[in-house]
Amino acid sequence: MAVKLLLIALFALASSSAILASDPSPLQDFCVADLQSKVFVNGFPCKNAGDVKAEDFFRSGLDRPGDTNNYLRSNVTPVNVNQIPGLNTLGISLVRIDYGPNGLNPPHTHPRATEVLTVIEGQLYVGFVTSNLNGGGNRLFTKNLKKGDVFVFPEGLIHFQFNTGKTDAIAFAGLSSQNPGVITIANAVFGSKPPISDDVLAKAFQVDKNLIDWLQAQFWTDNNY
């Protein structure tokens, strides 16, 4: 009986760990991603440990500002497993975000990561929206940030940052996934390929189909590079 209970407890623990984990957990010191492998797994297969070099854990260039010469006046420079293969299975990545005056990192979500952001230069108006509440609606949390301030965006929730200052702003953010993913709301809804039916969007947004057609015809800027 005791053995049976122990097995049930171990199974429950393993199941809960699998449910709570966003990224695969490391089973050795490191598992440097083999980005050229043809094997498809959840994450990336490991490079042969004998072929691993220091460069697999290194990336330079985050001292250089991103190009904000676009409609959004912002630029996101990612550092995830695609840039540093050594991040594979480690469950962490980061980004540098540059904002020109009135620059916007538009409403978006990271389906696999919580984000913690800190302002390095300038000032930002930031916020996130909750999932649907039991009583209906969604709650918005916002904050005006200055240099040195930190703000957290919970995993999967829609969030944004807007430069309210008259000078450039810079932020760095850590994310709790080696590959957090990003879904920019406007781009996904109005710029998907193939497009979502305008009948569906007109009914969802309760507007005329002509407005939906116009929105779908626009060029939706992607500030993630």
Rg of the chain (C-alpha set): 21
pTM more than 0.85: yes
Q: Is 159 annotated as a binding residue?
A: yes
Question: In the structure encoding, which two tokens stand for residue 27, read together?
Answer: 């089973």
Q: Is 210 annotated as a binding residue?
A: no
Instruction: Give tens-digit pLDDT for 95-131.
Output: 999 999 999 999 999 999 999 999 999 999 999 999 9
Confidence category of residue 25, pLDDT binned at 50, 70, 90:
confident
**Residue 24 to residues 6, 44, 89, 117, 176: CA-CA distances in angstroms?**
25, 10, 5, 24, 12
Residues in the chain: 225
- Residues of the chain with pLDDT > 90, as a percent, come to 80
Residue closest to 161 by CA, chosen among 121, 75, 103, 213: 103
Q: Is 115 annotated as a binding residue?
A: yes
Confidence category of residue 10, pLDDT binned at 50, 70, 90:
very low
- 162 contacts: CB under 8 Å, gap ≥ 6: 99, 102, 103, 104, 105, 124, 125, 126
Instruction: Give tens-digit pLDDT for 171-202.
Output: 999 999 999 999 999 999 999 999 999 999 99
Instruction: Give tens-digit pLDDT for 46-89.
Output: 999 999 999 999 999 999 999 999 999 999 999 999 999 999 99
